Structure 1
Amino acid sequence: MLSDDLALADALSDEAPRLPLASRLDGAHPRPQLVRAAWTDLSGPWGFAFDDEDRGQGEHWEREGTSADFGATIQVPCPFESPASGIGDTGFHPVVWYRRVLERDEVPAGERVLLHFGAVDFRCAVWVDGRLAGRHEGGSTPFSFDITDLIDGERATIVVRAEDDPADVSQPRGKQDWRRHPHSIWYHRTTGIWQPVWLEGVPAAHVEQLHWVADVPAGEVTATLRFSRALPAGSVLDIVVTREGERLAAAAVEVSGRRAEVPLRLAVQENGQAYEELLWSPSHPTLLDAEVRLRPAGGTAGAASGSASGADDRVASYFGLRSTAVAGGRFLLNDRPFYVRSVLNQGYWPESHSAAPSADALRAEAELILSLGFNATRLHQKYEDPRFLYWADRLGLLVWGEAPAAYAFTPEAVQRTVAEWTAILDRDRSHPSIVTWVPLNESWGVQHLAADPRMVSYSAGLVELTRAVDPTRPVISNDGWEHVRSDILSIHDYDHDAERVRERYASREQVLGSAFTLPGRRLIVGPEQRTDAPLMLTEFGGISYTENGPEDAWGYSAVSSPAELVERLDALVGAVVASPALAGYCYTQLADTGQETNGLVFEDRRPKAPLEELRRIFSRRP
């Protein structure tokens, strides 16, 4: 340590403008746990072109004065398949191009300028004024390029080529349909840019990634940082943690190299008198703010690129002090049994499909889930926009993070899934709302898990990989059935008869003794699966009710009126909550999605029955 609290306060209170409290943002920032003052949102109209014959690369559409026709306009970041994009074409178009002119006054101040993409499905290349900025593969993962040296003059032109082969089932696709029209439980495809695009001004040496790891019993949190370049000896990192203006912890440490770990002790947690006040939970979603300042040594941090930069990097962040675990057949939050009342969330809107129609819509989605009486949501077959995770953190909504599945089991599918999964663990693992990881679901992409030892190794490997990166959360190897080393034994069961459900889950011994789940799948695969793991019914219900819905309206069972829906839900949820064997549940599903009309709300998020009735049902506890 270099300084005491007083000296550190002086170090952070210079003439530079104060950063906003990250825990009290308006939800618009695309990376809410690593916020700088200088950034520009590039959402809005871009030029757009289909390239069905894949001529663009050979004809160099990235350059000015070519045969490229960007006469169409698309609203980024909505995929072109969606109405909100302004294109609304749901046909097969595996290659598309985007173009945007960047004016000089849009470029944020900073020694370097980074161009960030939240997600582009599936493979893309990016040029600035005809020069390649970089390439990326992975339809759901963020990436960025330093475009400082590519910007020349009063304006610059950004061009993006995106490629997404709808027939390639080795890509992690989630719910994207490979057929021309949606069927069963699959929806319209998502091609190209579908999460925010933005510019950021940064110093030459800056914080590239920031993670927070809480140790609740010790009353500590560790900041783990990755820097944009190797820092010389003598560089200093200042961190101050506050809550509502009260300083809780501070540190000033010397750092060097590309990484640093800084433990911070929260003195107020040393005794039990105010211990609960700082803990994050759905009933008290307390967030602690942090300001981080990197001071490179002697202006030499930029020497490798020929820049004698001494600019400080200042970022705002936040975290939640909480723990998750499983023990004695129960899910534990902050070391206490917690009954999970969750709802399956496809993260899909009729106007914008997988993209959020707005930042406000993500807040409204979290608020809707809570208003229905749930305390958790399972983000199904999708890595959700971090702005939703921000609202889950702030409002107190537990989240299960689930991977979009590939449908094939090939070396390419394994490599792509692992690459995206590890990138998302890096992106999301500091969000306190995320309490469980789910890398596979219902044996999608590992169809013969019960019989093929390669698939068993893959499933077990994903679990161990997740634990290696993040040992702080339970991991479910394959949600629904055929578990391999899962921390939670999750089961999917769409029986709509409440009495049969009540009998089936009457005791833990009865569930484990059956060996098979309702679809005829094994519950456990391999001798290494722990049998004392909590049991949860993580998909059930799926009751369809529709008002003048589509002809192909679909659900696992159906009712014909709001009153009948309430009656069916009341009996079914009552049977589940009455089970002494179950540690929680996840109801299918939140909202109607296309032809899948088994939501609790319609596509436009109107409740299908009186909200107070639905809240009464899903607020019920054992």
Structure 2
Amino acid sequence: MTVQQIPRAEHPRPQFLRDRWLTLNGVWEFERDPGDSGLERGLLARTLRDEILVPFAPESELSGIGDTDFHEAVWYRRRIAVPEDWPAGDRVLLHCQAIDHDATVWLDGVEVGRHRGGHSSFTLDVTSALDGRREADLVIRARDPRHEVLPRGKQATWFGNTHCNYTRTTGIWQSVWLESVPTSHLVRPRITPDAGRATFDLDAAVAHGRPGQRVRAVLSDGDGEVARDEAVVGMTMVPSLRLVLPQDRRRLWCPEDPHLYDLEFTLLGEDGTVIDSLASYAGLRSVSIDGQRILLNGEPVFQRLVLDQQYWPDGLMTAPSDAALVRDIELGLAAGFNGARLHQKVAEERFLHHCDRLGYLLWGEFADWGASGQGPAGHNQGQTPTFVAQWVEVVERDYSHPSIIGWCPLNETHQYLHDRFTVLDDVTAAMYWATKGMDRTRPVIDASGYSHRVAATDVWDSHDYEQDPVEFGKKMSGLERGEPFANTGENTGSAADGAPTYSLPYAGQPYFCSEYGGVWWVPEAAREGDDNSWGYGQRPATEDEVYARMEGLTRVLDQNPLMFGYCYTQLTDVFQEKNGIYAFDRSEKFDMERVRANFAHPASYESHPAGAE
């Protein structure tokens, strides 16, 4: 396979770059293991039967397999060759951006590591297993047990796609790559911007550091160096640096001007020699809460968000190309949105990078659904450590991206009034407080929609797919009385045995409707054979009725001066779910000038600087 034929060959982690790296995407040996007996049957030691195109999952067309059945386990094998120009004394790191769900990795038959989590990245140091060799056989087994409660997101837990659950993803579905690092080397730094003080606080961890070494950070823009700082390794567990920007070099990151500074991290020896370096970038912005308002750089920016599932017809959860990632952002902007809620999926780092540079606001979310469409609930809550461990990996990985302005660890969890199973409180509290402990700079919502179980949650929200704008307006009108709409069994139709879903009382937090719309529409030219599609409510009779619903529902939200934003469902159709602004293939379904005029409509929140006062 030539370099031109290697899929997704771009660097998977553009915010932290080294020169010496090698993609392992391309053709791998592959074999299904339906009984998860491959280790006993010797798959570790022999040639596998099929071939697959990594990083596409075997369920996808782009993988060359296209098998959408359940896969208890799958195996991968390929020969790796460490480039001759990589220094012999360096460490070799294997990076796996995402493998669903339980991965075990061997090098020449030696196990080098394991990882659980289909949406979080992991890194293994394979230097010892290489033992000085430049070539080795890399084998990965991925297990995806059908009947175990796992964070799956929108992957169907029954055979076929149904309603808002889609084709599964098993095994490798994001890039795999090698990187060469010195023995003492920089670990992914944390970048914390503070727009009010015009500073960047940097936590620059060093692996195998030695006293006397120093970490240096240099910030620059188009006119050259802006600020620098140094810290001594060994004086603290994680060297901390602060970059203070001069008044005349301060430029805030925002949707209208997503300015990014260049940032270089360097690890220096005692004698000043360069040991390691990372090329990075940073955006100067702050997110804060003022009463019922969420402020960006001290200003009430109305969040016009769209629900983005990030599925593609041929790649499923894997974008067919880097350009496809950019295209989805461009489609959102063209429709009048200024950001997205990444729904039930953890986006790959390249998507976050493009959002950083294009000024697209994001709420980072976890793929917590996993029990026939729901997250950890009732009898299924024994998996709490799994959910928390994987989520904190995600927060740590994505912490430094300026486009992420909030975190959403759980979605539509159900706590029923008088239910004897109350472990959901523990799950929700663990996810919420773990997030707050890792990141004090962004708001966190304990659970989007349905059961708010943390009294101190930064944000309150609701989901409502009422299709009548008048009725929708009545539901949303209680916010001005301090009694905002809350999801219950009676108004969602989703409670078990008729028991109402229960949330703790609203305490004056910023509030928005984080799912609404979902208007079901299939253009007339595409209706032939469309017998199984669905959307919310009755399908409109005409396209004009679609616009009327979109506009009526959206005016309820953007004309409420206490509402800091909304999230419209959804950016694209996904398989049978036909309620997108665009079709599944990203073609236009509507008059986009009219759509953009609706979602870009001026919001009362922005024209009332006093907000709730």
Q: TM-score, normalised to structure 2's length?
A: 0.88
Q: Distance in 2 between matches of 1:448 and 1:52?
A: 41
- Per-residue deviation, 1:268: 1.8
Map 1:226-375; keep pairs closer than 5 Å: 226-229=205-208, 231-256=209-234, 259-269=237-247, 274=248, 278-297=251-270, 312-375=275-338
- Per-residue deviation, 1:374: 0.4
Q: Give the match for residue 86 of structure 1.
A: 64
Note the alpha carbon deviations across 1:159-212, whole angstroms, 9 max, x for none.
Answer: 1111001221x2111111110111111111110001110111111111112111
Q: Give the match for residue 52 of structure 1.
A: 34
Whether 1:473 aligns to 2:442 is: yes
Whether 1:390 aligns to 2:371 is: no
Code of the aligned partner of 1:30: P
Counterpart of 1:495 (choices 454, 466, 471) is 466
Map 1:10-29; keep pairs closer than 5 Å: 28-29=10-11
Whether 1:211 aligns to 2:181 is: no
- Per-residue deviation, 1:506: 3.1
Q: Give the match for residue 178 of structure 1.
A: 157
Map 1:101-116; keep pairs closer than 5 Å: 101-105=79-83, 108-109=86-87, 111-116=90-95
Note the alpha carbon deviations across 1:434-464, whole angstroms, 9 max, x for none.
Answer: 11111111116x6679775432233133222
- Per-residue deviation, 1:525: 2.9
SS in 1 for 2:31: strand
SS in 2 for 1:603: coil
Q: Distance in 1 between matches of 2:243 and 2:81?
A: 46
Note the alpha carbon deviations across 1:515-548, whole angstroms, 9 max, x for none.
Answer: 6553278797336x5x221120110011111223
Q: Distance in 1 between matches of 2:492 and 2:21?
A: 50
Code of the aligned partner of 1:162: A
CA distance change for structure 1 residues 562 and 43 in 2, over 3 Å: closer, same or farther? farther
Q: Give the match for residue 21 of structure 1.
A: none
Maintained 8 Å contact 2:52/2:63: yes
Note the alpha carbon deviations across 1:306-336, whole angstroms, 9 max, x for none.
Answer: xxxx861011111111111222211111111
Q: Which residues of structure 2 form unaligned runs of 5+?
A: 1-7, 604-613
Maintained 8 Å contact 1:101/1:157: yes
186-195 or 109-118: which moved more? 109-118
SS in 2 for 1:84: coil
Code of the aligned partner of 1:164: D
Q: Distance in 2 between matches of 1:353 and 1:475?
A: 28
Code of the aligned partner of 1:141: S
Q: TM-score, normalised to structure 1's length?
A: 0.87
101-110 or 159-168: which moved more? 101-110
Q: Distance in 2 between matches of 1:252 and 1:258?
A: 13
Map 1:138-149; keep pairs closer than 5 Å: 138-149=117-128
Q: Give the match for residue 38 of structure 1.
A: 20
SS in 1 for 2:242: strand
Whether 1:556 aligns to 2:533 is: no
CA distance change for structure 1 residues 311 and 214 in 2, over 3 Å: closer, same or farther? closer
Q: Distance in 1 between matches of 2:254 and 2:119?
A: 28
SS in 1 for 2:177: strand
Maintained 8 Å contact 2:218/2:228: yes
Q: Give the match for residue 167 of structure 2.
A: 188
Q: Distance in 2 between matches of 1:380 and 1:457?
A: 23
Q: Distance in 2 between matches of 1:244 and 1:412?
A: 52
Counterpart of 1:420 (choices 390, 394, 413) is 390
Q: For this pair of structures, how many residues does the alignment match?
A: 573
CA distance change for structure 1 residues 582 and 227 in 2, over 3 Å: closer, same or farther? same
Maintained 8 Å contact 1:224/1:259: no
105-114 or 566-575: which moved more? 105-114
Maintained 8 Å contact 1:30/1:387: yes
Whether 1:75 aligns to 2:44 is: no
Q: Distance in 1 between matches of 2:82 and 2:475?
A: 65
Q: Distance in 2 between matches of 1:60 and 1:449?
A: 52
Note the alpha carbon deviations across 1:212-260, whole angstroms, 9 max, x for none.
Answer: 112222221111022222x221111111001124211112332217843
- Per-residue deviation, 1:153: 4.7
Q: Give the match for residue 479 of structure 2.
A: 508
Q: Give the match for residue 73 of structure 2.
A: 95
SS in 2 for 1:555: coil
SS in 2 for 1:480: strand
CA distance change for structure 1 residues 515 and 613 in 2, over 3 Å: closer, same or farther? closer
Q: Distance in 2 between matches of 1:449 and 1:354?
A: 38
- Per-residue deviation, 1:587: 0.2
Q: Which residues of structure 1 form unaligned runs of 5+?
A: 1-25, 300-309
Q: Distance in 2 between matches of 1:182 and 1:605?
A: 20
Q: Percent identity?
A: 36
Q: Give the match for residue 303 of structure 1.
A: none
Maintained 8 Å contact 2:205/2:239: no
SS in 1 for 2:217: strand
212-221 or 545-554: which moved more? 545-554
Code of the aligned partner of 1:288: Y
Q: Distance in 2 between matches of 1:103 and 1:554?
A: 49
CA distance change for structure 1 residues 71 and 191 in 2, over 3 Å: closer, same or farther? same
Counterpart of 2:590 (choices 595, 609, 619) is 609
Maintained 8 Å contact 1:96/1:192: yes
- Per-residue deviation, 1:568: 2.4
Maintained 8 Å contact 1:108/1:200: no
SS in 1 for 2:254: coil
SS in 2 for 1:416: helix
Maintained 8 Å contact 1:508/1:580: no
